[in-house]
A and B are shown apart, each in its own frame.
Chain A
Amino acid sequence: RKEVEQDPGPFNVPEGATVAFNCTYSNSASQSFFWYRQDCRKEPKLLMSVYSSGNEDGRFTAQLNRASQYISLLIRDSKLSDSATYLCVSTTDSWGKLQFGAGTQVVVTP
Chain B
Amino acid sequence: DAGVIQSPRHEVTEMGQEVTLRCKPISGHNSLFWYRQTMMRGLELLIYFNNNVPIDDSGMPEDRFSAKMPNASFSTLKIQPSEPRDSAVYFCASSLARGRGARRGREQYFGPGTRLTVT
Q: Interface on A for B, CB 8 Å cutoff?
A: 31-32, 34, 42-46, 49, 87, 91, 94-98, 100, 102-103
Contacts and interface: CB of A to CB of B under 8 A. Distances in A.
A96 B106 contact: yes
Contact of A102 (B42, B48, B111): B42
Contacts of A42: 112-113
Interface of B: 31, 33, 42-43, 45, 48, 50, 55-56, 91, 95, 97, 99-103, 105-113
Contact of B107 (A34, A87, A100): A34
Contacts of B101: 94
A44 B43 contact: yes
A91 B110 contact: no
A98 B55 contact: no
Contacts, number: 54
B45 A49 contact: no
B103 A32 contact: yes
A43 B109 CA distance: 9
Nearest to B53: A95
A97 B57 CA distance: 12
Given A32-B103, A102-B42, A96 B110 contact: no
A96 B43 contact: no
A33 to B, nearest CB: 10
Nearest to B111: A43
B103 A31 contact: yes
Nearest to A98: B108
